[in-house]
Amino acid sequence: MAKRALCIGINNYPGTHMDLAGCVNDANAWEAELKARGFEVTKLLDAQATKAAMAQAMQAVIGGAASGDVVVITYSGHGTYVPDQSGDEVDGLDEGLCPYDIQTGGGALLDDEIHQIFGARKGGVRLVLVSDSCHSGTVTRAAAPDPDADDVPRPRFLPMGNWLPADKLPRAASGKPAASVQAPAGTSPMAKAMSRRFGDLLLAGCKEGPNNFSYDARIAGKPAGAFTYYALKALKSLPENATYGQWHEAITPAFLPSASYPQIPQIVGSQDARHRKIFS
């Protein structure tokens, strides 16, 4: 059984005015943990994590895996949503991950695109996804805090208005580009791409639905995702044969939600997947 991982962390989003601080640290922390557990790790940080590079790295790590192998993909960065172009979304919006070049390149990496990448894998590949971002919100709730207050948690959500050109935004009743829209269900793009039939499992930093956020935080003087920090802290307290379900129970409610970080981490997958030994 081979173990392969891809860790993505993006703090810098040129042109959006909504940079983050803890995502690169998250990716480095996941890399260290996974390498210690025998994984071969590929990492994309900031400018390395363009939309094309993210898609290619996902294809490589998944496409190179054979039946019985374990693949872990971690993503720390902004989530977003865009007007649905294919007509397959009830709420009229597609969720997506935000690459480094979201405004200057090809836009968001959408759930439909991720689904296609994941669907090309070989049977029997065990896929574990860790998403420390959020995928629904409003312009008001996701507004940047005072830049001088670096201890204020920032939601990892990038509103459409911060990166989509005006001619691509939804229209208000007046016909002008809408400054905000009704927040969608907010399903992680990774959740849409995962397969319960193949035993995939998703650990997400927050609940689905409007105004549920994963927070960019500063803990013990260091920027980090609140979910990543506490997920790794909980993991170190568990016995060697602990399951994913036990890991999730160790994170919430012991650490999250908290007064500073009101987010509820989620675990998505079959009962068999939840009872599987972590990273095996």
What gap in Å lies between CA 212 and CA 114, rounded to an integer?
22
Residues 6+ apart with CB under 8 A from 24: 9, 10, 11, 45, 46, 76
What gap in Å lies between CA 251 and CA 233, rounded to an integer?
8
**Active-site choice (78, 98, 135, 206):** 78
78 is catalytic: yes
**Active-site choice (7, 23, 98, 134):** 134
Exposure b/e, 223-243, CB count within 10 A at least 16 = b: bbbbbbbbbbebbeeeeeebb
Radius of gyration of the chain (CA): 18
What is the number of other CB atoms lying within 10 angstroms of the CB of residue 271?
8
Strand pairing class (70-76; 79-83) = unpaired
23 is catalytic: no
Instruction: Give the SS3 label for residue 78.
Output: coil
What residues act catalytically? 78, 134
